[in-house]
Amino acid sequence: MNIGRLCGGWLLTVLSTVAAAYEEAPGANAVAPRYTFSWPLDDTALKPRGGTTQGPPVVLDTTASREWQALQENEISSLERDRRAILAMAGTYRVTFDFLEVGLFDAAQTRRAPYQSWGTEKVYVDSDSGRAISLVHILEMRIVQQDGSISEPMVTKHWRQDWQYEPRQIVAYQGRERWQQRKVASGEARGAWLQTVYQVDESPRYASIGRWQHSASFSTWLSADTWRPLPRREWSVRDDYQVLIGTNRHTVFTNGWTQEENNLKAALTPERKLRSEQPYLAREYGVARYERIKDADFAAADQYYAATRKFWDEVRDIWASAFADQREITLRGPVDKLGLFTPLFEYADATASGAASGDADATIRAALRDMGALK
């Protein structure tokens, strides 16, 4: 099952509302886990939001991966060790996402329910030129249905992370759907890696610079404070703030990796400045756990990735050209909230099934004009 058939429904459901995955095979009466690290465990404890779907059991790979072993080799350069840490994030994973507001800055605020979701996805090395690496995440999920049967695989592109060593420029989020390209000072770039994260349709999301640190137990990269647009898990339920400001940490270890976020939920003026009165609403912690799995069938993801790779690279190239020409882009609104990515996913789905017709370049440019990215 591909995205063209259910673009407005299944994609948004899978990316934002499915429930937490389980350590063992979930039974018919399985109960979603509650938070251990939470608000006080009393009658006011909030049940996590996110959904009620379950996936079939998976087999966790608890052995040290080949990528981890390569990362631990002696007598390699610091650049090469950084590269191997990034490349070690590729593979097949069960992923769980957890977000919790740990502090409210206004006693009058209502506590928000924590968020949990899950997925199974494969991370591909899309390109590796030595000092630049691109990783593409493709979701392939199966759901346990009400009669106990397992659904057909549901496949879609999830997100992309690009890594650039000692970058010369960065496209940074400015708030209220504006991104701006700026030069990176040599001192800021020296020995550092830029991570740029793209949304499901290759539109920009956020970018930040940080440095890798390595030990015999783990390798970790920590970003500087970074502005990010609201994800769907937030804009779908609230509109009282406009930007997340926080750090992003990637930690690679023997059989997987984690992505940790420490975010402030910040309110902006119409001019994209922090609001003078009560600029911050809450602090949020988030963690995505990527646990390696084995003996998993990702054939549908492989087929989708191979068939659509050229198309999505074209989309990314046109975005890059737009920033090179304009240096600053303000979109009409959140592309996922407005459904502006739909034509791109429909074309990609048709490409995957061999039914694509028309000019891909024209389709991409029309979609980006509709978003406000192209004049």
Which of 77, 97, 153, 87 has the alpha carbon at shortest distance from 123? 87
Handedness of CA 35, 234, 13, 62 (dihedral sign): negative
Rounded to an integer, what distance in angstroms lies between the CA atom of residue 171 and that of residue 321? 12
pTM of the model as a whole: 0.90
Joined tokens for residue 340:
């502006």
Which of 165, 148, 142, 140 has the alpha carbon at shortest distance from 77? 165
* pLDDT of the residue at 357: 86
Query: Residue 267 is inside which H or E element, if any?
Result: none
* pLDDT of the residue at 154: 93
CB-CB contact of 244 with 266 (8 Å)? yes
Residue the block writes with tokens 């992923």: 95
* pLDDT of the residue at 52: 66
Low-confidence ranges of the chain (pLDDT < 70): 1-36, 40-44, 51-52
Rounded to an integer, what distance in angstroms lies between the CA atom of residue 336 and that of residue 199? 9
Joined tokens for residue 219:
């390798």
CB-CB contact of 16 with 233 (8 Å)? yes
* pLDDT of the residue at 19: 32
* pLDDT of the residue at 165: 98
Rounded to an integer, what distance in angstroms lies between the CA atom of residue 79 and that of residue 73? 13
* pLDDT of the residue at 269: 96
